[in-house]
Structure 1
Amino acid sequence: MITFILNNKTIKTSEHSGTTLLDFVRYQQRLTGTKIGCREGDCGACTLLVGTLSDDTMEYQSITSCISPIGNAHGKHIVTVEGTNLKDKLTTAQEAMKANYATQCGFCTPGFVIALTGFALSNSENNYSNAIDAISGNICRCTGYKAIEKAAHQVVEKLEHQEKNSFKWLIDNGFIPEYFESIPQRLKDIESKDLNQPKGKYVSGGTDLYVQQADNLIDNPVHLIAEKEYLKGISIEDEICTIGTNATVSDLWNHTELNSILPNLRKHLKLVSSEQIRNMASLGGNIANASPIGDMTIFFLAFNSDLTITNEKDEERSVALNNFYQGYKTYDLNDGELLKTISFKLPTAQSFFNFEKVCKRTHLDIASVNSAIHLSVENGTIAEAHVSLGGVAAIPKYLHDTSAFLTGKPLTSETILEANEMLQKEISPISDVRGTSDYKRLLARQLFFAHFTELFPNHFTLNDFVQYA
């Protein structure tokens, strides 16, 4: 029995666990403020909040409910726009949208309101940049974003004196209704044991599977693994970072130590997706999806990462990520096996990492080409190099030859130009809706050069590669 709190109501349902949360909310509970838009997680009209009780503290995150299985709501607090309503007055987020004329047809408005409410409930710093990040996955087709941005700014101004993690302050200042204070205890009282699940397709966040196979997942058994503790967590020990495959991009985003080691981490992760998807999608799912342009796969390939794989007998084996992929959507994973961890050696003071991506939409878009690089440089010589490219082959491409060529070479423009010649021989892009093969070769070259101009701005400029510009 799936049990959770929906707004102020405890839900117990025997609904198929693969049913989307959006369909349950709209059609079973008739909470129609949550809209059906793209059904791909792209527009944000179906945005909900998911509250999780952790160490007596509630943590709320926004998600797109159209690609989230209802089974993942088990033991959680789910909040729709109706669940944020106050008696006889607008909430702070609703008032900000109204005061700044940030709504016309109103179709997208509930999603924006929920996303801004989630920002107020989050542990992120109360600044305008973070508020805009919070609504980066919400699309409006008629109002114009400047009005919505002004509404976000008004919310930020009211949050300036917020007491963090204080439901009372948020209630007193009109962000959320009073019943939120009772949620932690009510979740404790819910019997939230693991669901008894039949054998079926493994699903974690579901952000890609539900785009491709929603009807199949709704009608057939699924085995939800998003809450499996042994697949969670991020640890750093002996200069090795080990990440559970259930970890999300938001888990990386919020990891203090990892951000101190990789100061540009959030800048890179902003390119991956919207906040809603960063909150949902598992890193293991990104790898197992085997998309030739999977952003986090390209990211981890450049770190020369290793995978730990486990099976139903708790037997484990390891495989290098750069040897994991065998062909288009095929990889070294047997029936009954799961990806358990991703591990990589942390950068040192002499090493440099960068991630680049080109796509048509800044947030939440599939890359035309993406790329990452990790270099160790000692006394002007490249001691170690790992380069990866997406969108240029049938698999997420680790450039074995280019990486080997760079290793041991002086860090000069001549080396980089020669390495590009090697790179072009290693890739084999095809023409598709995201660009012609020639265009993708151009992007691969320019992103490769961009790594060096970004990482070594005092050594290289675009003029050093002007013959290719």
Structure 2
Amino acid sequence: MITFILNNKTITTSEHSGMTLLDFVRYEQRLTGTKIGCREGDCGACTVLVGTLESGYIEYQSITSCISPLGNAHGKHIVTVEGTNLQNKLTVIQEAMKANYATQCGFCTPGFVVALTGFTLSSSHKNYDNALDAISGNICRCTGYKAIEKAANQVVEKLNNKEKRSFDWLIANEFIPEYFSTIPKRLRELETKDRDQPKGKYVSGGTDLYVQQPDHLADNDVHLIAEKDYLKGINIKNGICTIGTNSTVSDLWNHKELNTIFPNLKKHLKLVSSEQIRNMASLGGNFVNASPIGDMTIFFLALNSDIGITTQGGKDRNLPLKNFYQGYKTFDLKDGELLKDIQLKLPKQNTYFNFEKVCKRTHLDIASVNSAASISVENNIISEAHVAIGGVAAIPKYLQDTSAFLTGKPLTSKTILEAQEVLQNEILPISDVRGTSDYKRLLGRQLFFAHFTELFPKQFTLNEFIEHA
């Protein structure tokens, strides 16, 4: 049985755990404010909030319910747009949307309201940029964005640009309904023993699988692993960072120590999908999706990461991530094996990391080409280099020859220009909907140059490279 709280109602259901949360909410509970749009997590019309009880405290995150399995709601608080309503009046978020004429056809409006409500409940700084991040996964097809942005700004002003507010403050100031204050106690009292999982396809966040094969997952047994503790957590010890494969991009985003080690981490991660997807998609899922343009795969390839693999029998093995991929959508993972964790050596003081991505829109889009680089420099000599690039080969490409060429060379324009020629010989892009092969080669060159102009701005300019390329 699946047990959770839906708005202000406790739910116990024997429905198939592989059906989508969206379908359960709309068709079984008749809460039709949560809309069906793309069914791919792209439009945000189906946005709901998921509240998870951790150490007596609830953390709320927005997700797209159209690609989330119902079973992942077990033990959680799920909030739809109906669950944000006050008695006979509008919430601050709803009033802001109304006052700024931020709704036209109205189809997308519930998703925006829920996402902005999640922003008020989140632990992020209550500023305008973070409010826009919260709705980066919501699309308005009537192009009412400026009005919606004004509504988001009005919400921020009402929050007084403070840190996370308590439930009591948010209730008293009409951001959320009063029942929210009862949820922590009710979640603690829920009967949420670990459920027996059937043998079936492993599913964590489901953000890729539910795009590819939603009907199959809804009709057949799935083995949900999102709540497996041994696949969770971020641990830093003795210069090694170990990240469980159930960790999400948001887990990296919110990790204070990682943000100290990688000062531009949030800037880089902001290029990855949208806030809703960052909240639910697992790193392990990104790796085994094996997409040649997987953002996080490229990210961790450039960090020269290793991956840990486990079986139900407990036999673990490790291998470099760059050796994991064997061909298009094929990789070194046997039946019954799971990716357990990612391990990387923390960068030294003289190591610099950068991630770049080009796509047709800034947020929530797959890359035409993406690239990451980790460069260590001592006395103006490149002591170590790791460069990865996506969208230019059948696999997420670790540039073995380019990285080896850079190592031991002086950090000069001549070295970088010569390394770019090596890069061009390592890649083999094809023409597709994201660009021609020539265009991707150009992007590969420009992103490679961008790593050095971004990391060493006093030494290099992009025009300097272009003139001599």
Work out whether the TM-score is over 0.5.
Answer: yes
| Residues 229-270 of structure 1: CA deviation (Å, up to 9, x unaligned) | 000000111111110000000000000000001000000000
Relative distance call for 1:328 and 1:143 in structure 2 (3 A) is: closer
1:292 pairs with 2:288: no
- Whether the aligned pair in 1 keeps the contact of 2:116 and 2:135 (CA below 8 Å) is yes
- Residue 41 of structure 1 aligns with which residue? 41
Q: What is the CA RMSD across the aligned residues, in angstroms? A: 0.9
- Whether the aligned pair in 2 keeps the contact of 1:100 and 1:151 (CA below 8 Å) is yes
- Whether the aligned pair in 2 keeps the contact of 1:163 and 1:169 (CA below 8 Å) is no
- Residue 306 of structure 2 aligns with which residue? 306
- Residue 95 of structure 1 aligns with which residue? 95
Output the amino acid matched with 1:50: V
Relative distance call for 1:32 and 1:454 in structure 2 (3 A) is: same
| Residues 395-436 of structure 1: CA deviation (Å, up to 9, x unaligned) | 000000000000000000000000011000000111111011
Which runs of structure 2 are paired with 1:306-385 in the superposition (5 Å)? 306-385=306-385
- Residue 186 of structure 1 aligns with which residue? 186
- Residue 413 of structure 2 aligns with which residue? 413
TM-superposed CA distance for 1:175, in Å, is: 0.7
- Whether the aligned pair in 2 keeps the contact of 1:248 and 1:282 (CA below 8 Å) is yes
4+ long deviations beyond 6 Å: none
- Residue 12 of structure 1 aligns with which residue? 12
In 1, the alpha carbon distance for the partners of 2:78 and 2:272 equals: 25
Output the amino acid matched with 1:248: T
TM-superposed CA distance for 1:191, in Å, is: 1.1
TM-superposed CA distance for 1:383, in Å, is: 0.1
1:269 pairs with 2:259: no
Output the amino acid matched with 2:226: A
- Residue 399 of structure 2 aligns with which residue? 399
- Three-state SS of the structure 2 residue aligned to 1:446 is helix
| Residues 325-350 of structure 1: CA deviation (Å, up to 9, x unaligned) | 00011101000000000010111110
1:244 pairs with 2:236: no
Which runs of structure 2 are paired with 1:432-447 in the superposition (5 Å)? 432-447=432-447
In 1, the alpha carbon distance for the partners of 2:47 and 2:101 equals: 21
- Whether the aligned pair in 2 keeps the contact of 1:34 and 1:80 (CA below 8 Å) is yes
Stretches of structure 2 lacking an aligned partner (at least 5 in a row) = none
Output the amino acid matched with 2:344: F
- Whether the aligned pair in 2 keeps the contact of 1:103 and 1:143 (CA below 8 Å) is no
TM-superposed CA distance for 1:35, in Å, is: 0.3
TM-superposed CA distance for 1:466, in Å, is: 2.5
In 2, the alpha carbon distance for the partners of 1:104 and 1:143 equals: 9
| Residues 71-114 of structure 1: CA deviation (Å, up to 9, x unaligned) | 00000000000000000100110000000000011000000000
In 1, the alpha carbon distance for the partners of 2:82 and 2:342 equals: 39
TM-superposed CA distance for 1:163, in Å, is: 6.8
- Whether the aligned pair in 1 keeps the contact of 2:3 and 2:12 (CA below 8 Å) is yes
Output the amino acid matched with 1:78: I
- Whether the aligned pair in 2 keeps the contact of 1:40 and 1:210 (CA below 8 Å) is yes
In 2, the alpha carbon distance for the partners of 1:124 and 1:442 equals: 37
- Three-state SS of the structure 2 residue aligned to 1:342 is strand
Relative to structure 2, which stretch is displaced further, 458-467 or 122-131? 458-467
In 1, the alpha carbon distance for the partners of 2:300 and 2:324 equals: 12
In 2, the alpha carbon distance for the partners of 1:295 and 1:468 equals: 30
1:149 pairs with 2:149: yes
Which runs of structure 2 are paired with 1:6-155 in the superposition (5 Å)? 6-155=6-155
- Residue 224 of structure 1 aligns with which residue? 224
TM-superposed CA distance for 1:463, in Å, is: 2.4
- Three-state SS of the structure 2 residue aligned to 1:93 is helix
1:2 pairs with 2:8: no
Name the % identity: 79
In 2, the alpha carbon distance for the partners of 1:405 and 1:242 equals: 29
In 2, the alpha carbon distance for the partners of 1:147 and 1:408 equals: 54
- Whether the aligned pair in 2 keeps the contact of 1:303 and 1:344 (CA below 8 Å) is yes
In 2, the alpha carbon distance for the partners of 1:393 and 1:438 equals: 13
In 2, the alpha carbon distance for the partners of 1:318 and 1:165 equals: 43
1:455 pairs with 2:434: no
Which runs of structure 2 are paired with 1:160-171 in the superposition (5 Å)? 160=160, 164-171=164-171
- Whether the aligned pair in 1 keeps the contact of 2:120 and 2:164 (CA below 8 Å) is no
In 2, the alpha carbon distance for the partners of 1:279 and 1:106 equals: 25
Output the amino acid matched with 1:208: D
- Three-state SS of the structure 1 residue aligned to 2:213 is helix
Output the amino acid matched with 2:237: E
- Three-state SS of the structure 1 residue aligned to 2:443 is helix
- Whether the aligned pair in 2 keeps the contact of 1:3 and 1:13 (CA below 8 Å) is yes
In 1, the alpha carbon distance for the partners of 2:468 and 2:277 equals: 36
- Whether the aligned pair in 2 keeps the contact of 1:250 and 1:279 (CA below 8 Å) is yes
In 1, the alpha carbon distance for the partners of 2:406 and 2:13 equals: 58
- Residue 258 of structure 1 aligns with which residue? 258
TM-superposed CA distance for 1:165, in Å, is: 4.6
In 2, the alpha carbon distance for the partners of 1:369 and 1:56 equals: 43
| Residues 14-50 of structure 1: CA deviation (Å, up to 9, x unaligned) | 1110000000000110000000000000000000000
| Residues 102-132 of structure 1: CA deviation (Å, up to 9, x unaligned) | 0011000000000000000000001000000
In 2, the alpha carbon distance for the partners of 1:111 and 1:327 equals: 39
- Three-state SS of the structure 2 residue aligned to 1:192 is coil
- Whether the aligned pair in 1 keeps the contact of 2:125 and 2:164 (CA below 8 Å) is no
Output the amino acid matched with 2:462: L
- Whether the aligned pair in 1 keeps the contact of 2:324 and 2:332 (CA below 8 Å) is yes
Q: Structure 1 length as normaliser, TM-score?
A: 0.99
- Whether the aligned pair in 2 keeps the contact of 1:249 and 1:281 (CA below 8 Å) is yes
Stretches of structure 1 lacking an aligned partner (at least 5 in a row) = none
Relative distance call for 1:284 and 1:255 in structure 2 (3 A) is: same
